[in-house]
């Protein structure tokens, strides 16, 4: 017989509260992006991206089992895009 809510003596309200808490924790975790994903998200050139790394705006993260560095989404969105002036 598989465990059920009744076996654990949990009310449906307690179960839903626990599920909401787990979902909230999962959504608050930082997203790690590949370089390609970070470039797409930020919309900047590779040179601007590398400049942000050199300036310390974003820091490469090494993840076990991956050969490429990953970048935190919260840092990537801080990269400022330069506005191009078009001569008319």
- Residue 29 Cα distances to 10, 23, 69, angstroms: 27, 10, 18
Kindly give the confidence (pLDDT) of every residue in the chain, 88 residues in length, as a single tens digit, with 9 standing for 90 and above: 566 666 677 788 888 888 888 887 776 677 889 999 999 988 999 999 999 999 999 999 988 888 889 998 888 988 887 766 666 5
Nearest Cα residue to 75 out of 46, 66, 49: 49
- The reported pTM is 0.59
């Amino acid at each position: 017989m598989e465990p059920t809510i009744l076996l654990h003596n949990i009310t449906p309200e307690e179960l839903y509260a626990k599920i909401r808490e787990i979902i909230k924790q999962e959504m608050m975790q930082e997203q790690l992006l590949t370089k390609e994903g970070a470039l797409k998200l930020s919309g900047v050139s590779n040179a601007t991206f590398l400049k942000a790394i050199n300036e310390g705006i974003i820091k490469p993260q090494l993840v076990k089992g991956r050969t490429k560095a990953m970048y935190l989404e919260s840092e990537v969105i801080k990269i400022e895009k330069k506005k191009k002036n078009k001569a008319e």
